[in-house]
Structure 1
Amino acid sequence: MLGSETVYMLAGDHRWQWEQFCDERRIDRARIADVKGLIVDAFLKARERSSDVRQSGSLLLDPQYSSAHMARARQAGAVVGAPTEKAGAFPLEWTSATPFAAPPPGSFVKVLVKDRSDYAPALRVAQFEKLKELQHWCRASAAPLVIEVLVPRDREPEQTFEETERPAMLSQTIRDAYQRGIEPEYWKIEGTTSAAGAAAVDRAIAERPVCRQIILGKAADASLIAQWFATAAKTSSASGFAIGRSVFWNTCSRFLEGKTSESDAIDEMTATYLRLVDLWRAAIKS
């Protein structure tokens, strides 16, 4: 199961992004499955090299393009979870018309939801109701739930939004979810360099001590991620990260374009992922 103390999640469930990438370059979408295989190979290689990854590492993969690779990773002993949201959809939609007819396809469940406190009340209520239904399904299967919340910027100045307005809106989303009985094991959230912003979000999460936070990557480079980690590490609810594109996007893009080999791509992603593990450990110790 997903570890409660520390989470080093390699998030590889991206779908519409790869579809768009392939369509723009006239690359067969069937090759997206090859990318997913490389991500699994890199994770398993990191798992061989690092006791931290063996203990706290996990994979997030989509059954749409990764079904065989998910099975392979599980057979190797990895913790593997899957998304439930329809890729790119807003408001929240499920991947199928009957999403809860069978048990979860992975060891944990992730859902991505976009929310702002100034969205139409009916829209927000409908999304929260879907999350409540999802949580019931997860608990019936003893599958940890990871809720990823994205707070889109509207017309706010970027710096003000990043430091104060987004943390305030994210905190409100979390509290509104709690009021409806939605208490995921993990909130997957955007990082910030603002100590005050991180503290505000931490206070909201900590209103339910069983809930924790993991930092997502937004395709950022290592230097910015290190700053996010340093800020998050000072909060009481911080448990690690769930990062994908920062590890694999550039590497796998080159692979699909024939600019790097399979073995080089795996080695590069392994090193990048392990670097993130080191960055988190350094942030926690500082």
Structure 2
Amino acid sequence: MPIESPLFLLAFDHRSGLVRGMLRGQETRAGELLPDAKQVIYEGVRSAGAGRIAGSAGAEPAGERSWQPGVLVDEQYGGSVVGPAKAAGLATAVAIEASGQDEFELEYGDDAAAHIEALAPTYAKVLVRYNPGGDASANARQCERLAEVSRMVAATSSELLFELLVPPTTAQLDSVHGDRDRYDAELRPQLTIDTIAAFQAAGVEAPLWKLEGFETVEQAEAVARQGGAPCIVLGRNAPQERVEHWLSVAAAAEGWEGFAIGRSIWWGAISGYLHDGLPRDVAVEQIAAQYAQAIDVYLAAEQRAAV
């Protein structure tokens, strides 16, 4: 399916963290509650994206910027939305990493390619945590594994979406006196460039990067140049003001083409739906409104940058 730019993915591929953080003593009911919750989130995306599906007749009012809505889900709890999302014209991405692991592992091991082909999403997504100053052996293993995964995904009908987190080492955090914001602003941009370069040297080819946000356009563009492929910004469950800043920076930067953000958009509505009697249609409306707001922030910043 052709993908228009920018691409706006609503990410709800969370698994182990969602079970722990959302179900509040009902963990044994995860297989019952979470697929329904993820259907609600999908309905929010579908509602906000109705009439905006790239390529559909009359989708865009004259003079307005086209954009591509989409979903990032997991197979375990969210696999049932992939088919309907594809049929509705949304971009689809499916997580293929094992959940909750510090070091990358494939969710289905040697059967991963078959699982990708069965769902046939637009993108097969990997989540990788890597810091060039971290454990050298672990870093080498991850580079080798991800090169193999890159080749595996390239042989399927999907493309690789590489989600990269660069958490600080203790020494790096100490160097900025424990200030995570200073780490993000002062150290993480170059560490991200170095990390991408390490994976590229190992043979990873990523048609799309999903990366943490940056403080300045110059930082974001430097990272995108190293990536050599479109980048989309993730939210990292940061406060709304910070997420909106990252969106605005990405929208103004060359090489950045949208976002993939999640919990800040749907967590409150899903918590209300599962625990507090929030009606399903209201939860859908709240998610649609939050998703649309993030899109508006991005498009407004893009328009300002173009002036």
In structure 2, the partner of 1:250 is: 268
- One-letter amino acid of the structure 2 residue matched with residue 134 of structure 1: V
8 Å CA contact 1:11, 1:244 repeated in 2:
yes
Whole-angstrom distance in 2 between the partners of 1:159 and 1:62: 30
For 1:222-237, list aligned pairs within 5 A: 222-237=240-255
Whether 2:169 is the aligned partner of 1:154: answer: yes
- Deviation sequence 1:244-272 (CA, Å, 0-9, x none): 11110111111111241111000010011
In structure 1, the partner of 2:138 is: 123
In structure 2, the partner of 1:9 is: 9
Q: Aligned to 2:127, what secondary structure does the other structure show?
A: strand
- One-letter amino acid of the structure 1 residue matched with residue 108 of structure 2: S
For 1:1-286, list aligned pairs within 5 A: 1=1, 3=3, 5-26=5-26, 28-29=29-30, 30-51=32-53, 55-102=67-114, 104=116, 105=119, 106-155=121-170, 156=173, 157-205=179-227, 208=228, 211-286=229-304
Distance 1:172 1:99, change over 3 A: farther
Structure 1 position 195, deviation (Å): 4.1
Structure 1 position 52, deviation (Å): 6.0
Whole-angstrom distance in 1 between the partners of 2:247 and 2:216: 11
- One-letter amino acid of the structure 1 residue matched with residue 206 of structure 2: P
Give the TM-score normalised by the residue count of structure 2: 0.85
- One-letter amino acid of the structure 1 residue matched with residue 204 of structure 2: I
8 Å CA contact 1:10, 1:60 repeated in 2:
yes
Structure 1 position 214, deviation (Å): 0.3
Bigger mean CA offset, 70-79 vs 258-267: 70-79
8 Å CA contact 2:233, 2:260 repeated in 1:
yes
Whole-angstrom distance in 2 between the partners of 1:34 and 1:182: 35
- Deviation sequence 1:47-75 (CA, Å, 0-9, x none): 21435697511111111012222222223
Structure 1 position 189, deviation (Å): 0.7
- Deviation sequence 1:138-178 (CA, Å, 0-9, x none): 21124121111111133313232011211111110111112
Q: Gaps spanning 5+ residues in structure 2: where?
A: 57-66, 174-178
- One-letter amino acid of the structure 2 residue matched with residue 68 of structure 1: S
- One-letter amino acid of the structure 2 residue matched with residue 275 of structure 1: Q
Whole-angstrom distance in 2 between the partners of 1:99 and 1:152: 29
Distance 1:49 1:268, change over 3 A: farther
- One-letter amino acid of the structure 2 residue matched with residue 69 of structure 1: V
Structure 1 position 241, deviation (Å): 0.3
Distance 1:229 1:22, change over 3 A: closer
Whole-angstrom distance in 2 between the partners of 1:84 and 1:10: 17
Whole-angstrom distance in 2 between the partners of 1:23 and 1:252: 10
Distance 1:260 1:49, change over 3 A: farther
Distance 1:278 1:241, change over 3 A: same
- Deviating 4+ runs (over 4 angstroms): 51-55
8 Å CA contact 1:107, 1:144 repeated in 2:
yes
- One-letter amino acid of the structure 1 residue matched with residue 36 of structure 2: D
The alignment yields a C-alpha RMSD, in angstroms, of 2.1
Q: Gaps spanning 5+ residues in structure 1: where?
A: none
8 Å CA contact 1:79, 1:107 repeated in 2:
yes
Structure 1 position 119, deviation (Å): 1.7
Distance 1:132 1:91, change over 3 A: same
8 Å CA contact 1:113, 1:148 repeated in 2:
yes
